[in-house]
Amino acid sequence: MSKTAVGSDVEAYCTKCKMVLAHSVVAMTGAKPRRVRCNTCNGEHNYRAEKPVAKTAAKKTAKTPKKATTKRTRQSWEEVMQEASAKPHKKYNMSGSYGEGDWIEHGTFGLGCVQTFIAPNKITVRFADSTRMLVCNRG
């Protein structure tokens, strides 16, 4: 760690430029800068390491859609995939026979879960990005 002193350059949040920029330390409090001068706009202001946290903080909830917490029994597809990839699964080929719930590994589409078996020789398989119909029991 390099020592910060009056006159040294620090990254600080500029209240005028409204971004984190290089500043020169003007005054220190102990080992921490107290006042800094912005190298960009030359404005002098109290030292702030980062942009102040906006009042509308909890933005994290926006990403996860509000699902009813009661229906937590259903795993997300990612979780299912992760679990399945750790388990043994069959390599897909057209002559194989597969049943509902089987995990197969397809050369192109990757890991998928057999959703339905359509007699006599088709299966629908859910892959990470799509559900596809594949041929089985061939030959």
Which one of 4-12, 14-22, 98-106, 115-123 is the stretch in contact with Zn ion (CB under 5 A)?
Answer: 14-22
Is 46 near Zn ion (CB under 5 A)? no
Is 94 near Zn ion (CB under 5 A)? no
Residue from 4, 10, 17, 35 that binds Zn ion (CB under 5 A)? Answer: 17
Tokens for 76, please give them.
Answer: 């997300």
Q: How big is the site for Zn ion, counted in residues (CB under 5 A)?
A: 7
Measured from the CB of residue 37, what is the shortest distance to Zn ion in angstroms?
9
The counts of H helices and E strands in the chain are: 1, 9
Parallel/antiparallel/unpaired status of strands 103-106 and 90-91: parallel
Measured from the CB of residue 92, what is the shortest distance to Zn ion in angstroms?
59
Calculate the CA dihedral of residues 112, 116, 122, 128 and round it to 10 degrees: -20
